[in-house]
């Protein structure tokens, strides 16, 4: 009896461990994807990844083939749910004969709005994997259109295929950081202008505009977190021979 049960037990264990390894590799691939694609963006951010969000600059597409099934990823920047629904309607109309149009989107500074759909695929095999890929992004919609190729992929295969298509879509997109800056108006004498310009450029501050009148006026962008430090620094470096005024704060786009 034990001899008869052993092969069956071995098969069950093999299936279990195979499924476990596949799931582990899928999770690992997502971790590596986030690290490779977004890690460098956060590391090189002058504000340490605290006060900015990452989104896509414009729409992008990518295509993945898995066992003759075609997965087409459509990536869009969105500001509202209504805009997301408009893009969804457009893709559904464009790919009216597709097997599925699955999607996920996040909207808001802290991704307060999250929606996803499997669109007829087995629960948890499409919308959630797309959302997992989308996690580091804000104000972004990803739709993955599937044309069935005749071969069933199984739940694990579907999760990997939809996740892979979503990743390829993000790779094809241009990513931008939405950064909050404080605008400063600086004024100095012409004799001091060369030094001030050198100081600003040496610390990589953005000089937005220079006006020449009876004095030189410079419009400068400074990260909001650095505003107080910037004020003390520029005053000290110029021996208080410069006047400055805080103007408005703005959100600017910085390409990643």
Do 65 and 144 belong together in one domain? yes
Residues 168 and 59 grouped into a single domain: yes
Instruction: Let me know if residue 4 belongs to a domain.
Output: no
Residue 39 lies in a domain: no
Domain count for the chain, please give it: 2
Q: Write the CA distances from 156 to 74, 92, 103, 135, integer angstroms.
A: 22, 25, 18, 20
Q: What angle do CA 25, 173, 221 make, to 5 degrees?
A: 115
What is the CATH classification number for the domain harbouring 193?
3.30.70.240
Where a domain ends, among 173, 193, 209? 173
Residues 127-172: pLDDT tens digits? 999 999 998 899 999 999 999 999 999 999 999 999 999 999 999 9
185 and 79 within one domain: no
Render pLDDT for 24-54 as a digit per residue (tens, 0 to 9): 555 555 555 555 555 554 434 444 344 568 9
Q: For residue 74, tell me if it sits in a domain.
A: yes
Instruction: Identify whether residues 183 and 159 lie together within a single domain.
Output: no
Q: Clarify whether residues 166 and 206 are in a common domain.
A: no
**Half-sphere exposure of residue 22, counting CA atoms within 13 Å on the CB side?**
14
Do 120 and 157 belong together in one domain?
Answer: yes
Which domain does 220 fall in, by range? 178-255
pLDDT score of 7: 58
Within-domain flag for 5 = no
Mark whether 168 and 53 lie in a shared domain.
yes
Q: What is the CATH number of the domain that holds 118?
A: 3.30.230.30
Query: How is residue 139 annotated by DSSP?
Result: S
Which residues are CB-contacts of 115 (< 8 A; sequence separation ≥ 6)?
Answer: 81, 84, 103, 104, 105
**131 and 167 fall within a common domain:** yes
């Amino acid at each position: 009896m034990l001899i008869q049960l052993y092969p069956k037990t071995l098969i069950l264990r093999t299936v279990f461990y195979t499924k476990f390894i596949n799931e582990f590799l899928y999770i690992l691939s997502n971790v590596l994807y986030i690290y490779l694609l977004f890690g460098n963006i956060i590391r090189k951010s002058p504000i340490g990844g605290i006060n900015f969000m990452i989104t896509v600059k414009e729409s992008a597409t990518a295509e993945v083939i898995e066992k003759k099934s075609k997965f087409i990823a459509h990536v869009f920047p969105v500001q509202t749910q209504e805009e997301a629904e408009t893009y969804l309607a457009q893709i559904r109309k464009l790919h009216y004969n597709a097997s599925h149009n699955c999607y996920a989107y996040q909207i808001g500074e802290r991704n307060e709005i999250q929606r996803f759909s499997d669109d007829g695929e087995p629960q948890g095999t499409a919308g959630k994997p797309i959302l997992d890929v989308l996690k580091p992004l804000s104000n972004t919609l990803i739709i993955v259109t599937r044309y069935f190729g005749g071969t069933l992929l199984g739940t694990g295969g579907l999760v990997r295929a939809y996740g892979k298509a979503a990743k390829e879509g993000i790779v094809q997109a241009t990513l931008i950081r939405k950064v909050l800056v404080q605008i400063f108006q600086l004024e100095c004498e012409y004799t001091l202008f060369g030094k001030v310009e050198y100081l600003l450029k040496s610390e990589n501050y953005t000089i937005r505009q220079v006006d020449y009148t009876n004095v030189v006026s410079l419009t400068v962008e400074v990260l909001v977190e650095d505003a107080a430090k910037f004020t003390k620094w520029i005053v000290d470096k110029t021996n208080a021979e410069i006047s400055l005024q805080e103007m408005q704060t703005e959100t600017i786009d910085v390409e990643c």
